[in-house]
Protein backbone atom coordinates (compact mmCIF):
# COMPACT_ATOMS: atom_id res chain seq x y z
CA UNK A 1 0.00 0.00 0.00
CA UNK A 2 1.37 3.40 -1.02
CA UNK A 3 0.35 6.31 1.21
CA UNK A 4 0.47 9.93 0.05
CA UNK A 5 -0.36 13.21 1.73
CA UNK A 6 -1.92 16.24 0.06
CA UNK A 7 -1.58 19.46 2.02
CA UNK A 8 -3.83 22.29 0.84
CA UNK A 9 -1.89 25.51 1.34
CA UNK A 10 -3.32 28.14 -0.99
CA UNK A 11 -5.49 30.20 1.36
CA UNK A 12 -4.82 33.80 2.35
CA UNK A 13 -6.05 33.61 5.96
CA UNK A 14 -7.99 36.87 5.72
CA UNK A 15 -9.29 36.55 9.30
CA UNK A 16 -5.67 36.78 10.49
CA UNK A 17 -4.96 40.22 9.07
CA UNK A 18 -2.69 42.13 9.66
CA UNK A 19 -0.23 39.28 10.37
CA UNK A 20 -1.54 37.18 7.49
CA UNK A 21 -0.77 38.66 4.08
CA UNK A 22 -0.86 37.26 0.54
CA UNK A 23 2.84 36.32 0.58
CA UNK A 24 2.83 35.12 4.18
CA UNK A 25 -0.64 33.78 4.99
CA UNK A 26 -1.62 32.05 8.23
CA UNK A 27 -0.14 28.66 7.30
CA UNK A 28 3.32 30.21 6.84
CA UNK A 29 3.31 31.99 10.21
CA UNK A 30 4.47 30.93 13.66
CA UNK A 31 1.20 31.24 15.55
CA UNK A 32 2.17 28.79 18.31
CA UNK A 33 5.70 27.63 19.11
CA UNK A 34 8.79 27.64 16.93
CA UNK A 35 7.32 25.99 13.83
CA UNK A 36 5.09 27.60 11.26
CA UNK A 37 1.70 25.95 10.86
CA UNK A 38 2.65 24.20 7.61
CA UNK A 39 5.90 22.94 9.14
CA UNK A 40 3.90 21.45 12.02
CA UNK A 41 1.46 19.84 9.56
CA UNK A 42 4.31 18.16 7.66
CA UNK A 43 6.12 17.13 10.86
CA UNK A 44 2.90 15.59 12.20
CA UNK A 45 2.95 13.11 9.29
CA UNK A 46 6.31 11.60 10.33
CA UNK A 47 5.81 7.87 10.73
CA UNK A 48 2.76 7.80 8.42
CA UNK A 49 3.86 9.33 5.10
CA UNK A 50 7.36 9.53 3.66
CA UNK A 51 8.53 13.05 2.74
CA UNK A 52 8.83 12.15 -0.96
CA UNK A 53 5.12 11.23 -0.94
CA UNK A 54 3.97 14.57 0.46
CA UNK A 55 2.42 16.99 -2.05
CA UNK A 56 1.67 20.64 -1.34
CA UNK A 57 -0.93 22.46 -3.43
CA UNK A 58 -0.38 26.22 -3.27
CA UNK A 59 -0.02 29.23 -5.58
CA UNK A 60 2.74 31.19 -7.27
CA UNK A 61 2.91 33.91 -4.61
CA UNK A 62 3.33 31.51 -1.69
CA UNK A 63 5.45 28.79 -3.32
CA UNK A 64 8.91 30.38 -2.75
CA UNK A 65 8.33 30.68 1.00
CA UNK A 66 6.90 27.13 1.20
CA UNK A 67 10.01 25.80 -0.59
CA UNK A 68 12.16 27.72 1.90
CA UNK A 69 10.28 26.36 4.92
CA UNK A 70 9.90 22.70 3.88
CA UNK A 71 13.37 21.29 3.31
CA UNK A 72 12.43 17.59 3.24
CA UNK A 73 9.61 17.84 0.70
CA UNK A 74 10.81 17.58 -2.95
CA UNK A 75 10.42 20.90 -4.78
CA UNK A 76 8.65 19.12 -7.66
CA UNK A 77 5.95 18.04 -5.16
CA UNK A 78 5.05 21.67 -4.43
CA UNK A 79 2.40 22.32 -7.07
CA UNK A 80 1.24 25.79 -8.10
CA UNK A 81 -2.43 26.33 -8.89
CA UNK A 82 -2.59 29.05 -11.56
CA UNK A 83 -5.94 30.22 -10.12
CA UNK A 84 -7.70 29.57 -6.82
CA UNK A 85 -10.62 27.23 -7.57
CA UNK A 86 -11.60 25.98 -4.09
CA UNK A 87 -10.99 22.50 -2.68
CA UNK A 88 -12.71 20.26 -5.28
CA UNK A 89 -10.35 21.38 -8.08
CA UNK A 90 -7.35 21.37 -5.74
CA UNK A 91 -8.03 17.80 -4.60
CA UNK A 92 -8.87 16.68 -8.13
CA UNK A 93 -5.54 18.03 -9.38
CA UNK A 94 -3.66 16.21 -6.59
CA UNK A 95 -5.59 13.01 -7.40
CA UNK A 96 -4.50 12.88 -11.04
CA UNK A 97 -0.87 13.62 -10.10
CA UNK A 98 -0.84 10.87 -7.46
CA UNK A 99 -2.88 8.56 -9.69
CA UNK A 100 -0.08 8.70 -12.28
CA UNK A 101 2.34 7.42 -9.64
CA UNK A 102 0.09 4.84 -8.01
CA UNK A 103 -3.47 4.32 -9.22
CA UNK A 104 -4.77 3.00 -5.90
CA UNK A 105 -2.50 5.09 -3.68
CA UNK A 106 -4.20 6.22 -0.47
CA UNK A 107 -4.42 10.00 -0.12
CA UNK A 108 -4.47 11.74 3.26
CA UNK A 109 -5.83 15.22 2.49
CA UNK A 110 -5.12 17.90 5.08
CA UNK A 111 -5.40 21.68 5.37
CA UNK A 112 -2.04 23.31 6.14
CA UNK A 113 -3.20 25.38 9.10
CA UNK A 114 -4.74 23.16 11.77
CA UNK A 115 -3.57 22.63 15.34
CA UNK A 116 -3.44 19.00 16.52
CA UNK A 117 -1.72 18.31 19.81
CA UNK A 118 -1.75 14.54 20.45
CA UNK A 119 0.33 13.21 17.56
CA UNK A 120 0.03 9.52 18.52
CA UNK A 121 -3.77 9.69 18.75
CA UNK A 122 -3.79 11.44 15.37
CA UNK A 123 -1.66 8.61 13.94
CA UNK A 124 -4.00 5.96 15.35
CA UNK A 125 -6.96 7.69 13.70
CA UNK A 126 -5.14 7.93 10.37
CA UNK A 127 -3.98 4.31 10.39
CA UNK A 128 -7.47 2.86 10.86
CA UNK A 129 -8.91 5.25 8.25
CA UNK A 130 -6.13 4.43 5.76
CA UNK A 131 -6.69 0.70 6.19
CA UNK A 132 -10.46 1.04 5.71
CA UNK A 133 -10.12 3.37 2.70
CA UNK A 134 -7.59 1.08 1.00
CA UNK A 135 -9.69 -2.08 1.36
CA UNK A 136 -12.99 -0.47 0.36
CA UNK A 137 -14.23 2.21 -2.00
CA UNK A 138 -14.86 4.59 0.88
CA UNK A 139 -14.42 8.33 1.23
CA UNK A 140 -13.43 8.78 4.87
CA UNK A 141 -13.55 12.08 6.73
CA UNK A 142 -12.32 12.80 10.25
CA UNK A 143 -14.98 14.12 12.62
CA UNK A 144 -14.23 15.84 15.92
CA UNK A 145 -16.51 15.35 18.93
CA UNK A 146 -17.94 18.81 19.77
CA UNK A 147 -16.92 20.25 23.12
CA UNK A 148 -19.18 23.31 22.89
CA UNK A 149 -22.01 24.69 20.68
CA UNK A 150 -19.69 26.07 18.00
CA UNK A 151 -21.25 28.15 15.22
CA UNK A 152 -18.01 28.48 13.22
CA UNK A 153 -17.80 24.85 12.10
CA UNK A 154 -19.84 22.65 9.79
CA UNK A 155 -21.25 19.43 11.27
CA UNK A 156 -21.55 15.81 10.15
CA UNK A 157 -24.22 13.42 11.41
CA UNK A 158 -23.41 9.71 11.66
CA UNK A 159 -25.13 6.40 12.23
CA UNK A 160 -23.60 5.29 15.55
CA UNK A 161 -23.39 1.65 14.41
CA UNK A 162 -19.75 0.67 13.84
CA UNK A 163 -19.05 -0.34 10.23
CA UNK A 164 -15.44 -1.14 11.13
CA UNK A 165 -13.12 -0.13 13.96
CA UNK A 166 -13.95 3.56 14.62
CA UNK A 167 -15.63 3.86 11.19
CA UNK A 168 -19.24 5.06 10.89
CA UNK A 169 -21.61 5.69 7.99
CA UNK A 170 -22.32 9.39 7.39
CA UNK A 171 -26.01 10.31 7.34
CA UNK A 172 -25.88 14.04 6.58
CA UNK A 173 -23.82 17.21 6.45
CA UNK A 174 -24.97 20.44 8.09
CA UNK A 175 -23.91 24.02 7.36
CA UNK A 176 -22.45 26.24 10.06
CA UNK A 177 -25.45 26.48 12.42
CA UNK A 178 -26.86 29.21 14.62
CA UNK A 179 -26.24 28.85 18.36
CA UNK A 180 -29.53 27.09 19.17
CA UNK A 181 -28.98 24.52 16.41
CA UNK A 182 -25.35 24.00 17.48
CA UNK A 183 -26.56 23.36 21.05
CA UNK A 184 -29.04 20.80 19.73
CA UNK A 185 -26.31 19.08 17.69
CA UNK A 186 -24.13 18.90 20.81
CA UNK A 187 -26.93 17.39 22.88
CA UNK A 188 -27.84 14.78 20.25
CA UNK A 189 -24.40 13.11 20.41
CA UNK A 190 -24.41 11.93 16.78
CA UNK A 191 -23.12 15.18 15.22
CA UNK A 192 -19.39 15.86 14.83
CA UNK A 193 -17.39 18.88 13.74
CA UNK A 194 -16.33 18.71 10.10
CA UNK A 195 -12.53 18.86 10.28
CA UNK A 196 -11.94 19.14 6.52
CA UNK A 197 -9.51 16.17 6.64
CA UNK A 198 -10.08 13.27 4.24
CA UNK A 199 -8.68 9.80 3.48
CA UNK A 200 -9.39 7.88 0.24
CA UNK A 201 -7.78 6.08 -2.66
CA UNK A 202 -6.85 8.20 -5.69
CA UNK A 203 -8.89 6.02 -8.06
CA UNK A 204 -11.95 6.13 -5.78
CA UNK A 205 -12.13 9.93 -5.48
CA UNK A 206 -11.61 10.24 -9.26
CA UNK A 207 -14.52 7.83 -9.84
CA UNK A 208 -16.74 9.94 -7.61
CA UNK A 209 -15.65 13.13 -9.39
CA UNK A 210 -16.51 11.46 -12.72
CA UNK A 211 -19.95 10.54 -11.39
CA UNK A 212 -20.86 13.66 -9.41
CA UNK A 213 -18.78 16.45 -11.02
CA UNK A 214 -18.33 15.37 -14.66
CA UNK A 215 -17.43 18.93 -15.68
CA UNK A 216 -14.49 18.90 -13.24
CA UNK A 217 -13.38 15.45 -14.42
CA UNK A 218 -13.49 16.62 -18.04
CA UNK A 219 -11.02 19.38 -17.15
CA UNK A 220 -8.81 17.05 -15.11
CA UNK A 221 -8.76 14.55 -17.96
CA UNK A 222 -7.31 17.23 -20.26
CA UNK A 223 -4.52 17.88 -17.75
CA UNK A 224 -3.81 14.25 -16.83
CA UNK A 225 -1.75 13.24 -19.86
CA UNK A 226 0.59 16.20 -19.39
CA UNK A 227 1.58 15.45 -15.77
CA UNK A 228 5.41 15.18 -15.56
CA UNK A 229 5.87 16.70 -19.03
CA UNK A 230 7.30 20.12 -20.03
CA UNK A 231 3.81 21.20 -21.15
CA UNK A 232 2.17 20.60 -17.76
CA UNK A 233 2.19 24.22 -16.53
CA UNK A 234 0.83 25.72 -19.76
CA UNK A 235 -1.92 23.10 -20.09
CA UNK A 236 -2.81 23.50 -16.41
CA UNK A 237 -3.04 27.27 -16.83
CA UNK A 238 -5.27 26.97 -19.91
CA UNK A 239 -7.68 24.48 -18.33
CA UNK A 240 -7.74 25.44 -14.66
CA UNK A 241 -9.31 28.86 -15.08
CA UNK A 242 -12.38 27.24 -16.66
CA UNK A 243 -13.00 24.88 -13.71
CA UNK A 244 -15.91 25.55 -11.38
CA UNK A 245 -14.97 27.00 -7.98
CA UNK A 246 -16.67 24.71 -5.49
CA UNK A 247 -15.69 22.94 -2.28
CA UNK A 248 -15.18 19.18 -2.08
CA UNK A 249 -17.92 19.13 0.58
CA UNK A 250 -20.57 20.62 -1.74
CA UNK A 251 -19.34 18.93 -4.90
CA UNK A 252 -18.71 15.39 -3.63
CA UNK A 253 -19.10 14.64 0.07
CA UNK A 254 -22.71 15.81 0.46
CA UNK A 255 -23.82 13.80 -2.60
CA UNK A 256 -21.73 10.63 -2.48
CA UNK A 257 -23.12 7.32 -1.11
CA UNK A 258 -19.63 6.23 -0.05
CA UNK A 259 -18.92 8.66 2.78
CA UNK A 260 -17.78 7.42 6.20
CA UNK A 261 -16.48 9.15 9.31
CA UNK A 262 -13.75 8.20 11.73
CA UNK A 263 -13.79 9.91 15.11
CA UNK A 264 -10.72 11.98 15.91
CA UNK A 265 -10.12 11.70 19.67
CA UNK A 266 -7.24 14.20 19.61
CA UNK A 267 -7.54 17.89 20.45
CA UNK A 268 -8.06 19.86 17.25
CA UNK A 269 -8.67 23.39 16.06
CA UNK A 270 -8.78 24.91 12.60
CA UNK A 271 -7.61 28.17 14.21
CA UNK A 272 -10.17 30.09 12.20
CA UNK A 273 -9.89 33.47 13.93
CA UNK A 274 -7.93 35.54 16.43
CA UNK A 275 -10.53 34.50 19.02
CA UNK A 276 -9.49 30.88 18.48
CA UNK A 277 -5.84 31.87 18.96
CA UNK A 278 -6.80 33.56 22.24
CA UNK A 279 -8.64 30.42 23.40
CA UNK A 280 -5.61 28.22 22.63
CA UNK A 281 -3.02 30.56 24.17
CA UNK A 282 -1.59 30.55 27.67
CA UNK A 283 -3.07 33.36 29.77
CA UNK A 284 -2.01 35.25 32.88
CA UNK A 285 -4.07 35.75 36.05
CA UNK A 286 -6.07 38.51 34.34
CA UNK A 287 -6.98 36.24 31.43
CA UNK A 288 -4.66 38.10 29.04
CA UNK A 289 -2.49 36.38 26.42
CA UNK A 290 0.35 38.69 25.41
CA UNK A 291 3.26 38.47 22.97
CA UNK A 292 5.88 41.23 22.91
CA UNK A 293 6.72 44.14 25.19
CA UNK A 294 3.25 44.77 26.61
CA UNK A 295 2.00 46.92 29.50
CA UNK A 296 -1.55 46.36 30.77
CA UNK A 297 -3.51 48.05 33.53
CA UNK A 298 -7.10 47.20 34.46
CA UNK A 299 -7.21 45.04 31.31
CA UNK A 300 -8.63 41.53 31.18
CA UNK A 301 -9.46 38.61 28.88
CA UNK A 302 -7.59 40.03 25.88
CA UNK A 303 -5.11 38.85 23.25
CA UNK A 304 -2.35 41.43 22.61
CA UNK A 305 0.35 40.82 20.00
CA UNK A 306 3.06 43.43 19.45
CA UNK A 307 6.57 41.99 18.99
CA UNK A 308 8.04 45.09 17.34
CA UNK A 309 6.62 47.99 19.38
CA UNK A 310 6.01 48.70 23.03
CA UNK A 311 2.22 48.58 23.43
CA UNK A 312 0.13 49.67 26.40
CA UNK A 313 -3.52 48.80 26.99
CA UNK A 314 -5.45 50.35 29.88
CA UNK A 315 -9.03 49.82 31.07
CA UNK A 316 -10.10 47.35 28.39
CA UNK A 317 -11.43 43.81 28.27
CA UNK A 318 -12.28 41.16 25.70
CA UNK A 319 -10.10 42.77 23.02
CA UNK A 320 -7.91 41.53 20.19
CA UNK A 321 -4.95 43.88 19.60
CA UNK A 322 -2.56 43.00 16.75
CA UNK A 323 0.18 45.59 16.30
CA UNK A 324 2.59 44.90 13.43
CA UNK A 325 5.24 47.06 11.76
CA UNK A 326 2.79 48.53 9.25
CA UNK A 327 -0.73 48.05 10.60
CA UNK A 328 -2.82 47.91 13.78
CA UNK A 329 -5.96 45.87 14.43
CA UNK A 330 -8.20 46.47 17.45
CA UNK A 331 -11.44 44.53 17.71
CA UNK A 332 -13.70 42.92 20.26
CA UNK A 333 -13.04 39.21 20.65
CA UNK A 334 -16.61 38.33 19.70
CA UNK A 335 -16.17 40.25 16.41
CA UNK A 336 -12.98 38.51 15.31
CA UNK A 337 -14.72 36.70 12.43
CA UNK A 338 -15.34 40.14 10.87
CA UNK A 339 -11.62 40.83 10.34
CA UNK A 340 -11.90 39.44 6.81
CA UNK A 341 -14.00 42.55 5.94
CA UNK A 342 -10.84 44.63 6.32
CA UNK A 343 -9.16 42.58 3.60
CA UNK A 344 -12.23 43.02 1.37
CA UNK A 345 -12.04 46.79 1.98
CA UNK A 346 -8.33 46.91 1.13
CA UNK A 347 -8.92 44.97 -2.10
CA UNK A 348 -11.86 47.13 -3.20
CA UNK A 349 -9.89 50.30 -2.53
CA UNK A 350 -6.68 48.89 -4.07
CA UNK A 351 -4.58 49.49 -0.94
CA UNK A 352 -2.13 46.78 -1.98
CA UNK A 353 0.64 47.65 0.50
CA UNK A 354 -1.49 46.23 3.34
CA UNK A 355 -2.45 43.04 1.50
The three-class DSSP label of residue 182 is helix
Whether the pLDDT of residue 47 is over 90: the answer is: yes
- Report how far residue 231's alpha carbon sits from residue 222's, in angstroms, rounded to the nearest whole number: 12
The answer on 61 and 114 residing in a single domain is: yes
The alpha carbon of residue 67 and the mean position of all alpha carbons in its chain are separated, in whole angstroms, by 19
Q: Is the pLDDT of residue 205 over 90?
A: yes
User: Is the pLDDT confidence value at 155 over 90?
Assistant: yes
The domain boundary residue, chosen from 212, 247, 269:
269
Note the pLDDT of residue 259: 97
Give the integer Cα–Cα distance in Å for 104 and 332: 49
- Quick one: how far is CA 4 from the chain centroid? 17
Q: What is the average pLDDT across 332-344?
A: 94
Q: Give DSSP secondary structure letters for 255-270.
A: T-S-EEEEEE-S-EE-
- Model confidence at 352: pLDDT above 90: no
Q: What is the CATH number of the domain that holds 136?
A: 3.90.550.10
Q: Are residues 243 and 284 located together in one domain of the fold?
A: no
What radius of gyration, in Å, describes the C-alpha atoms of the chain?
A: 21
Residue 165 near residue 140, CB atoms below 8 Å: no
Whether the ω angle into residue 18 lies within 30 degrees of 0, i.e. cis, is yes
Q: Same domain, yes or no, for 184 and 238?
A: yes
What domain count does the chain have? 2
Based on the fold, state whether residues 258 and 300 are members of the same structural domain. Answer: no
Which DSSP string corresponds to 29-45? S-SSSSS-HHHHHHHTT
Confidence (pLDDT) at 99: 95
What mean pLDDT is reported for the chain? Answer: 95
Note the pLDDT of residue 322: 97
Q: Which of 220, 249, 269 is the last residue of a domain?
A: 269
Are 238 and 135 part of one and the same domain? Answer: yes
* Confidence (pLDDT) at 165: 86
Q: Same domain, yes or no, for 166 and 258?
A: yes
Reply yes or no on whether the pLDDT at 13 is more than 90.
Answer: no
Asked if residue 235 and residue 282 are part of one domain, the reply reads no
Say whether both 311 and 169 belong to one domain.
no
Same domain, 262 and 297: no
**Are 154 and 287 in a shared domain?**
no
Query: Mean pLDDT, to the nearest integer, of 286-302?
Result: 97
Domain co-membership, 183 together with 167: yes
Q: Does residue 138 register a pLDDT over 90?
A: yes
Q: What is the pLDDT of residue 23?
A: 86
Residue ranges making up the domain that contains 32: 3-269
So what's the pLDDT on residue 217? 97
Under a CB-based contact definition with an 8 Å cutoff, are residues 272 and 15 in contact? yes
State the average pLDDT over residues 308-315. Answer: 96
What confidence score (pLDDT) does residue 28 get? 95
Q: What does the pLDDT read at residue 12?
A: 82
Choose the final residue of a domain: 228, 246, 269: 269
Which pLDDT does position 250 carry in this prediction? 94
> What pLDDT score does 152 carry?
84
**pLDDT exceeds 90 at position 18:** yes
- Position 288 scores a pLDDT of 98
Whether residue 211 sits in one domain with residue 303: no
Can you tell me the distance from the alpha carbon of 54 to that of 76, in angstroms, rounded to the nearest whole number?
A: 10
Give the mean model confidence (pLDDT) for residues 8-15: 88
Report pLDDT for 22. Answer: 87
Q: Is the pLDDT of residue 293 over 90?
A: yes
215-258 pLDDT tens trace: 999 999 999 999 999 999 999 999 998 999 999 999 999 999 99
Sign of the alpha-carbon dihedral angle for 17, 21, 26, 31? negative
Amino acid sequence: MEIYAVIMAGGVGSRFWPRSKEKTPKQLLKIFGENTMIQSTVERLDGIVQKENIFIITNKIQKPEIVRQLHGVPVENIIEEPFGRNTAACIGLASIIIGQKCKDGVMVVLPADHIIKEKELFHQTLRSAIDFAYHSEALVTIGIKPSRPETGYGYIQIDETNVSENIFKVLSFAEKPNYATAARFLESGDFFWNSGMFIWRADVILKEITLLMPDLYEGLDKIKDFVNTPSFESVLSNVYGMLRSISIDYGIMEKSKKVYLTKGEFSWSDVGSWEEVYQLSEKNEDGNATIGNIFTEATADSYIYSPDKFTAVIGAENLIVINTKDALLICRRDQSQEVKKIVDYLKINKIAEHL
